[in-house]
Amino acid sequence: MLQRIQTIYLLITAGISAGLIFVFDLWITNEGVSFFAKDEILYLGLFCGSALLSLITIFMFKNRKSQFVMGRLNIILNFILLGLFVYRSLNLSGETTVSEKGIGILLPIFSIVFLVLANKAIKKDEELVKSVDRLR
């Protein structure tokens, strides 16, 4: 069913991953240029992949187990994205290219939170269906 709370959580995740990457910068270079996720194909691909995975997960409502697995895969994808951001910020020595970190680096964390909430709701639905099946 599309009118469940996990649909809202997954839509918020898709909005964060696909929409907010164009609004919030990841960091500002020493020259004062804002660096967005659209400026590097790897970051853009991972963010769009996360958004696409969230939208696919929404329409798998008839198979809750695979919906749960897709949510976990999306969480892993966002952890990879977060790991790339941490690696990029810690690997650069001193102030070579990154002058100031932006709020865009926190976007995968917000996505992970909403994906965990969606997976909790999916699991709750699965337990409800199992409990009803036991009564028959």
pLDDT, residue 45, reads 93
The number of CA neighbours under 13 Å toward the Cβ of 91 is 6
- Identify whether 134 is part of a domain: no
Instruction: Report how many domains make up the chain.
Output: 1
Specify the DSSP class assigned to residue 136.
Answer: -
pLDDT, residue 130, reads 85
pLDDT, residue 54, reads 94
Nearest to 60 by CA among 109, 4, 130, 116: 4
pLDDT, averaged in runs of 10, over the chain (136 residues): 84 93 81 81 93 93 90 95 85 60 87 95 89 74
pLDDT, residue 92, reads 60
pTM for the model: 0.87
- Identify whether 120 is part of a domain: yes
Nearest to 11 by CA among 53, 39, 63, 45: 53
Answer for the pair 116, 4: CB distance below 8 angstroms, yes or no. no
Domain with 70 in it: 5-129
pLDDT, residue 64, reads 87
